[in-house]
Structure 1
Amino acid sequence: MEYKINDRELTASVFLPFVNRIWKGDYDMERTQEALTKTLNITAYDQNELVGCLRILTDGYFFGTITELLVLPEYQKQGIGSRLLALAREHTPSMLFFGAQPGVEAFYEKNGCQKSLQSYIIEKRSE
């Protein structure tokens, strides 16, 4: 497994097929590419196939958040998510806050994450 910190070679054309294997959606290629340039991308590759990705959005000092931690289903429970999380801890410029999908709390707690603030969302209104 090859791990890359701040993977600037990650493109939407590689990321979107990977994401669609986990979270199916109709994602825009151009907007995805722009989003990838705004995050610190920590990736895991098996040969040349993207199999895991953790993205950090941060101001570099006060605040950081994990936007997502994704591992292909067939690669889960092999330590890839734990390694991505450890690399995030080593390379983040700030404290990280993030939400977790229901049912995966034990994974984060096993990896030394502490339960903190309750999370809320504000949905963008359609115009």
Structure 2
Amino acid sequence: MEYIVDDQNLKASIFIPFVNRIWPGEYEMDKTQTALSKTLNITAYNDEVLVGCLRILTDGYFFGTITELLVLPEYQKQGIGSELLRLAGEYTPTMLYFGAQRGAEGFYEKNGCQKSLQSYEIKKER
């Protein structure tokens, strides 16, 4: 497995097919590329195939958040998500605040994350 911190070569053309295997949706190429350019992307590749990605949005000083941590289903439970999370903690200049989907709390707690602020959302149509 090859891990890349701050993957500058992650393109929407690679990310969209990857994310569609986990969160199927209608993703626009140019908007996805803009989003990827605004985050610190930590990726996991197996033989040049993107199998995991953790994206961080940060101001570099006060605040950072994990926007998503995704691993292809057939690669889950192999330590890839844990390694992406470890690299995030090592290479991010700020504390990281993030929400967890129901059922994923145990994964984060197992990896040393502590419960913090309550999470809320304001929904917006795409």
Is the TM-score greater than 0.5? yes
Q: Counterpart of 1:37?
A: 37
Change (3 A) 1:14 1:115: same
Show CA shifts across 1:81-122 (max 9, x none).
000000000000100000000001000000000001110111
Task: Name the CA distance, whole Å, in 1 between partners of 2:14 and 2:7.
Answer: 12
Q: Which amino acid aligns with 1:54?
A: L
Q: Counterpart of 1:22?
A: 22
In the TM superposition, residue 125 of structure 1 has moved relative to its aligned partner by 6.7
Q: Counterpart of 2:51?
A: 51
Task: Name the CA distance, whole Å, in 1 between partners of 2:99 and 2:46.
Answer: 27
Q: Secondary structure at the match of 2:51?
A: strand
Change (3 A) 1:125 1:27: closer
Show CA shifts across 1:19-75 (max 9, x none).
000000000100000000000000000011000000000000000000000000000
Q: Counterpart of 1:77?
A: 77
Task: Name the CA distance, whole Å, in 1 between partners of 2:33 and 2:104.
Answer: 28
Q: Which amino acid aligns with 2:19?
A: V
> Matched residues, percent identical?
75
TM-score, normalised relative to structure 1: 0.97
Task: Name the CA distance, whole Å, in 2 between partners of 1:63 and 1:92.
Answer: 10
- Stretches of structure 1 that go unaligned for 5 or more consecutive residues are none
- Stretches of structure 2 that go unaligned for 5 or more consecutive residues are none
TM-score, normalised relative to structure 2: 0.98
Q: May I ask how many residue pairs the two structures share in their alignment?
A: 126
Question: Moved runs in structure 1, 4+ residues, more than 3 A?
Answer: none
Q: Secondary structure at the match of 2:109?
A: helix
Change (3 A) 1:72 1:96: same
